[in-house]
């Protein structure tokens, strides 16, 4: 479904990604893990053409996306939940979710915003609360709910657990798994929290200083503890 082939990414003259390649198949759940500053967010923004200058090939269903703008990539079925969530402070939870329907793929059958909200039990009693009056964990769940409201084929979650309490992280893992299973959406997850990433994905790419240094199953990573010491230990 998604193929990233040897991309370099730049902010100005600074190169952040160096020859990064990865693939995500239909309905597959894949993690990109690494330390803070390793290039995870830049990779996700590169896939959506949402900031960095990119050199290399990013393809969707075999078609090179080239210079396709962000909104057109969203209309193909790509949905990014950014690291800083970016929910709208001045409208309600339900209105935040409803807005995402405008980015849906043409012809796709959408659920009512209330049905999307029902997938996140912690949000149901907050449906009329303004986005700016939510906690960090509540905002993250709204951001995920908003992403799935457009029925994406691939959801990109960028550091969703950052700053969240453990109980919220556990609930978010359950919600993400349920959403992917029930909607058929694939998942590309950027995370430092290895527990959360394991709960939500089947395989991973390990990134360090803008380069992929390992890809495989979680068991493969467990079988090579040196990788954890070199690239994940703080």
Average pLDDT on 140-146 reads: 88
Please, are residues 216 and 185 in contact by the beta-carbon 8 Å criterion?
no
pTM to 2 decimal places: 0.90
Instruction: Read off the CATH number of the domain in which 12 is found.
Output: 3.40.50.300
Q: CA–CA separation, 129 vs 205, rounded Å?
A: 38
In the chain, the number of structural domains is 1
Q: CA–CA separation, 214 vs 220, rounded Å?
A: 10
How is residue 59 annotated by DSSP? E
Chain segment 152-183, per-residue pLDDT in tens: 899 999 998 888 889 888 988 998 899 899 88
Split at pLDDT 50, 70, 90, the class of 193 is very high
Q: CA–CA separation, 134 vs 128, rounded Å?
A: 11
3-state SS class at 224: coil
Is 234's pLDDT higher than 70? no
Is 61's pLDDT higher than 80? yes
Q: CA–CA separation, 140 vs 86, rounded Å?
A: 9
CB-count burial class (<10 Å; 0-12, 13-18, 19+) for 4? buried
Split at pLDDT 50, 70, 90, the class of 151 is confident
Chain segment 74-94, per-residue pLDDT in tens: 889 999 988 877 888 899 999
Q: What is the pLDDT of residue 92?
A: 95
Tokens of 42: 């830049």
Distance, CA of 121 to chain centre: 21
Residue 178's domain comprises: 2-231
Q: CA–CA separation, 47 vs 87, rounded Å?
A: 21
If you search the block for the tokens 């590309």, which residue do you land on?
188
Q: What is the pLDDT of residue 91?
A: 94
Q: What is the pLDDT of residue 46?
A: 97
Share of residues in the chain with pLDDT > 70 (%): 100
Average pLDDT on 22-26 reads: 96
Average pLDDT on 189-207 reads: 95
């Amino acid at each position: 479904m998604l193929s990233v082939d040897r991309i370099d990414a730049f902010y100005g003259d600074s190169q952040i990604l160096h020859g990064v390649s990865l693939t995500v198949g239909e309905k597959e759940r894949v993690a990109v893990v690494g330390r803070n500053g390793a290039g995870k967010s830049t990779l996700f923004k590169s896939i959506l053409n949402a900031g960095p200058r990119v050199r290399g090939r990013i393809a969707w269903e075999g078609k090179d996306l080239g210079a396709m703008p962000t909104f057109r990539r969203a209309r193909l079925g790509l949905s990014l939940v950014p690291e800083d969530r970016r929910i709208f402070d001045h409208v309600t939870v339900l209105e935040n979710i409803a807005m995402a329907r405008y980015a849906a793929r043409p012809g796709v059958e959408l659920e009512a915003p209330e049905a999307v909200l029902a997938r996140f039990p912690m949000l149901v009693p907050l449906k009329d609360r303004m986005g700016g009056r939510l906690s960090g964990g509540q905002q993250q769940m709204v951001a995920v709910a908003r992403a799935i409201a457009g029925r994406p084929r691939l959801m990109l979650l960028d550091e969703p657990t950052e700053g969240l309490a453990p109980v919220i992280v556990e609930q978010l893992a359950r919600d993400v798994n349920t959403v992917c299973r029930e909607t058929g959406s694939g998942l590309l997850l950027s995370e430092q929290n290895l527990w959360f990433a394991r709960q939500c994905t089947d395989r991973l790419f390990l990134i360090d200083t803008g380069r992929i240094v390992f890809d495989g199953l979680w068991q493969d990573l467990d079988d090579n503890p040196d990788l954890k010491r070199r690239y994940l230990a703080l």
